[in-house]
Structure formats: structure tokens, C-alpha cells
Amino acid sequence: MAGLTASEIETYRRDGLVAPSFRLDETRLERLGAAVERLVAANPDVPPEYLIGPHIPRPDDRDPSLYREFLDLCLDPEVLDLVESVIGPDVILWSSGVFCKPPGVGRAVPWHQDGQYWPLRPLATCSVWVAVDDSRPENGCMRYLPGSHAARRLYRHEHAGGGDLVLNRQVSPSEFDPACARDDVLRAGELSLHDVYLVHGSNPNRSGRRRAGYVMRYLPGTSFYDREMEVGQSSDIGVSDFAMRPIWLARGVDRTGRNDFRTGHPPCEGPRSSRASLPASAPLRC
Ligand SMILES: O=C(O)CCC(=O)C(=O)O
């Protein structure tokens, strides 16, 4: 297994985020870039700043083979090696999303912890954020508070008003000091891994250059994806497909014995199926 180096793992544990030396090769980067273009073109009615679950085929997809491009990257052995380095050998793919901020008008992502929104118990996830474009302060790169994951608790969130934010909840300003924030600067093809408790966000894109990223989310086999769980904020932010979403056992074993790898997949295919289908009503957005 390749994966992260010992010092990269240490950085992840200490800061809650690491940008390793690993980089997607040109072929994978070009495929991903083309897939993002197709995804945005196929969903003209959905704001491109957060297109959720492009790795999942939907019956009403305007570009029906497109999901494969994303799913292949989610299940790429080298990506899984990186994830295994921090969450162990049992890896469940449960979500992905494109955050594409167009030049000039790309909206900000408010300070948040991912775990606020998710039906996972115990709460755990490693997110792999791949830069599709160079991602810098000028075009709204991701920002994070190093070490904010360490207490392993969810900070108080409050409603974030206005239509110029990608999410409508944010960590209460009294909970943290943004002066400690660090920029997650990446060149196209580079990536970073972050912990579910990390406080992070990003500024609007006021530059003339697009900033697109693709994030893939993985649960350790010791955590349960609870389809029944009412996640406080889910309806608040419009996420309505948690119950029916297909998940994949990407590697290893489901240690909980309770994760459901069939819902959302066609009935005749097994848990490692590469095909899945959601009801036509499942949104590609939050
Ligand atoms: O792309 C961004 O600016 C934010 C990404 C994010 O919040 C995430 O990947 O969890």
C-alpha cells in the first residue's frame, strides 16, 4: 500500500487536514476536469457551488454515463490507500460532491463542521478534496482552523443568512478565532484530506479564474450510516436523499455489521456494485 507518509499522517492527526505529496496524474486530472465540465453543463438549474453525489447514477441523468467518471476516482486504489492511512483498512464510500465556484461570482462556504449535517454514528469521515483548478486565496481556496477537530465535538452552529453562501448554517462566530485560519492552497491535481470535525470554509471567488474542487467522503467500517436518523439540519439545507443514497464498501469489512449496501443499488447486484439508482426525485444539490 502506498498511502500517506508517517509525517503526513502526523499532520492530519495534529491539524485535522493534510495536503500530501500525492498528486493525480495528467490522465486522471484531465478526466476529472472534463467530468466537472459535463456535470455543470448537464445541470444548468443547479448552482455549481455544491453538486452533491455525481458518482451516483440517477434515472433522470441528462448525461447518463457521467457518474462513472466520478465513481472511478472514488474507488481508485491510490485514493483509497491515502484514506486507509488515516481511517484504517475498512473503507466505505458514502458521499461526494463538486464545489465549483465560477469566476467573479462564486459564493462563499461559511465556516462549518461537516459532521453537523450527517447521519453517521459514531461520527467519522475522512474527506478527500481534489483541486480541479489551481486553488488559491484569490479564487476562494478552502480555509481551515488547524487543530479545531481535536476536541472531537461539534461547535454551536447558527443560521447563516443571505443567498450568497453555499450552506445556510455556520459555526457561531463566538466559537472560534478566524485569525488562526490557514489557506489550503493547492495546484490542480493536488489534494487534501480533512477530518469530519475540522472547522473549515472558503471565501467567495472574486477573481477571473474558476475554482473547482471535487470532494470524496469515506466512513470507517466501524461507523454506521443511519438511514433512519433525522439529522437536524438536513431538511434545513435541503438534503433529502440520505435515506435512499447508495453507499459502497470500497475496501475491507463492515465492522458494524449494520451498514446497508443494497438500498439505492439495483436489486440484482451486490454490495460492490458499480451501478446504482436513486428515485428520480433525488436531488443533485443541497
Ligand atoms: O470547497 C469548498 O470551498 C468547501 C469544501 C467543504 O466544505 C468540504 O469539502 O467539506
Residue pLDDT, tens place only, 199-222: 999 999 999 999 999 999 999 999
**What is the rounded distance in angstroms from the CA atom of residue 124 to the CA atom of residue 87?**
9
| pLDDT of 283 above 80 | no
Ligand 1 pocket, 109 CB below 6 A? yes
Which ligand 1 atom sits nearest the alpha carbon of residue 140?
A: 3
| pLDDT of 128 above 90 | yes
Q: Is the dihedral of CA 82, 84, 87, 90 positive or negative?
A: positive
Ligand 1 pocket, 213 CB below 6 A? yes
Predicted pLDDT of residue 189: 98
| CATH class of residue range 6-251 | mainly beta
Give residue-wise pLDDT tens across range 46-79: 888 888 899 999 888 889 999 999 999 999 999 9
Ligand 1 pocket, 114 CB below 6 A? yes
Mean pLDDT of 77-101: 97
Residue with the three cell numbers 443514497: 245
Return all residues near 194 (Cβ < 8 A) that are at least 6 apart: 16, 17, 126, 127, 129, 144, 149, 200
Q: Which of 202, 216, 217, 286 to mutate to test the pocket of ligand 1 (most atoms within 8 A of CB)?
A: 202
Ligand 1 pocket, 215 CB below 6 A? yes
Mean pLDDT of 101-105: 90
For strand 191-195 and strand 126-131, is the pairing parallel, antiparallel, or unpaired? antiparallel
Q: Which of 96, 99, 139, 157 to mutate to test the pocket of ligand 1 (most atoms within 8 A of CB)?
A: 99
End-to-end C-alpha distance for the chain, whole angstroms: 35
| pLDDT of 271 above 50 | no
Residue ranges of alpha helices (H) inside 16-148 are 26-42, 66-74, 77-87
**What is the rounded distance in angstroms from the CA atom of residue 195 to the CA atom of residue 129?**
11
Which ligand 1 atom sits nearest the alpha carbon of residue 129?
A: 9
Predicted pLDDT of residue 162: 65
Nearest protein CA to atom 9 of ligand 1, as residue: 215
Average pLDDT, the chain: 88
**What is the rounded distance in angstroms from the CA atom of residue 33 to the CA atom of residue 133?**
8
Return all residues near 107 (Cβ < 8 A) that are at least 6 apart: 47, 49, 101, 164, 165, 166, 204, 205
| pLDDT of 234 above 70 | no
Reported pTM: 0.91
Ligand 1 pocket, 200 CB below 6 A? yes
Predicted pLDDT of residue 167: 74
Task: Give 250 Cα–ligand 1 centroid separation in angstroms.
Answer: 22
| pLDDT of 8 above 60 | yes
Output the CA angle 78-24-62, nearest 5 degrees.
95
Predicted pLDDT of residue 268: 59
| pLDDT of 232 above 70 | no
Predicted pLDDT of residue 25: 97
Q: Which of 138, 182, 210, 215 to mutate to test the pocket of ligand 1 (most atoms within 8 A of CB)?
A: 215
- The 10 Å Cβ neighbour count of residue 268 is 7
| pLDDT of 275 above 50 | no
Mean pLDDT of 73-89: 98
Task: Give 109 Cα–ligand 1 centroid separation in angstroms.
Answer: 7
Ligand 1 pocket, 142 CB below 6 A? yes
**What is the rounded distance in angstroms from the CA atom of residue 43 to the CA atom of residue 48?**
8
Ligand 1 pocket, 131 CB below 6 A? no
Task: Give 39 Cα–ligand 1 centroid separation in angstroms.
Answer: 18
Give residue-wise pLDDT tens across range 138-159: 999 999 999 999 999 999 888 8
Which position has the higher pLDDT, 33 or 280? Answer: 33
Predicted pLDDT of residue 231: 61
Which position has the higher pLDDT, 136 or 281? Answer: 136
| pLDDT of 102 above 60 | yes
| pLDDT of 94 above 90 | yes
Share of the chain above pLDDT 90, in %: 66
Ligand 1 pocket, 129 CB below 6 A? yes
Ligand 1 pocket, 127 CB below 6 A? yes
CA atoms within 13 A on the CB side of 150: 10
What's the grid cell of residue 44?
Answer: 444548468
Task: Give 99 Cα–ligand 1 centroid separation in angstroms.
Answer: 7
